Structure 1
Amino acid sequence: MASIDLNSDLGESYGAWSMGDDGAMLSVVSSANIACGFHAGDPAGIYRTVKAAVANGVVIGAHVSYPDRVGFGRRDMDVTTDELIADVIYQIGALKGIASAAGASVRYVKPHGALYNRIANDAKQGQAVIDAIKAIDSSLVLMGLANAPILDLARRSGLSVVSEAFADRAYTPQGQLVSRREEGAVLHDADAIAARMVQLAREGTLEAIDGSIIKIDAQSICVHGDSPGAVAIAKQIRQRFEAEAIAIRSFAVTQQGV
């Protein structure tokens, strides 16, 4: 049976402000990218999400970000190498502490938003994130954009990696994500998205925004927790996968055989 990881960005509520439905999403996904407080998430909310992930048997990852709560981590920042290393270490450390209190562990790191997009091709900031991960826990896996240079950079630096595709985002013919500023960048049709993801899991290809077919080598699929209809999209993907005999299994389980 073919298998692939299904992940979502969770723990992003803050105080009285609610973002997404973590409880529902955790009943569907196999890995959870949990906010660490820099772009979203408060300690109590992060703790609740971590405990819910543990209860659902979902693997936990640190969703690290630029320090940008106002912009939800989607504004690019020209930070120094030392600052970025310290920020990433701080965030991973915070989530590790919360996970430990919940009887779990952090297994991987997925940068968020602008940081994710920046390090996909920016070797300087990418190396800073890699160095931060190695400094705090070199066993952590780095999740990054499929086909992006950051994955090879991390491998050369001694980190394990997992490549990721996005269920609810459109792609350029070059295999990059279409900017959220452009029309059609975010996809909403759950049936169409599920069909795309079956194609990805089976054939390793997707249709780009111009209609061309592109190769995407991905071991994990992300459904953004803050997207409208996110839970419905994730459930539809899971239902289609089950019908197609495609198992949803965290890459952490697949890689380590546990």
Structure 2
Amino acid sequence: MAQTLRIAIVQSHLHWENPEQNRKMFEEKIDAISEDVDLVVLPEMFTSGFTMEPAHIDPSEGRKTVEWMQRLAQQKNMTLTGSILFPENGNYFNRLFFVEPNGKYSTYDKKHTFTLAGEDKVYEAGKHKLIVEFRGFKLCPLICYDLRFPVWARNVEDYDVLIYVANWPKPRIEAWDTLLKARAIENMAYCVGANRIGQDNLQHEYPGHSAVYDVLGKQIAYSDEEEILYAILDKGHIDSTRKKLRFLEDRDDFSWKG
């Protein structure tokens, strides 16, 4: 029997700095998921938008969102992932949560904070990649600006799927499209990109372009509208392609120095 991973990407607008309203909105959207899925992917900072004013949001909201994700994951028997503004020990993080139906969760803190917006001055940068083993697949979730840095994403762990959650704006959307495809090809892995849509309170426009690319860079899902995208990832496609085209065996050796 073929081993597959069924994903849904929720491409949505966001309510600015309003976690409660965003949770309510996303719960309605998740309730409307029409297919049987294993993994629901939400955008970057999905409870607030890409704010550089984290103090505007009550510190309790981070924990409330994690508990909300745990409740939904259990009720729907789906795993949820996406990043949120999360305070910890007096610092703020752009932190991705990967929450499974049994309540277990893993986290990844955004490594490459977006200096153009001053994110590096507000949020602490992460130092470690996260590799999650989930339903027979090895997943590597990353966040937005990380997409521009191929060394950080380099497939030295033999992962199967790259996931990028983002608030990627319209003026640079061609880079998003190009780099998602490139990361799939160079790492011989599925590449999943979940972007937001709409306009934020700073007048930045986000055009969506959430997409999924297979191991050879073929686009298997894409949208520039507010909707839910579905895709089925096939472990057999990964294994057979890597066996036939042994490009990863020729990858360069290097040591990461953070």
TM-score if structure 1 supplies the norm length? 0.44
Name the structure with the higher strand share: 2
Name the structure with the higher helix share: 1
TM-score if structure 2 supplies the norm length? 0.44
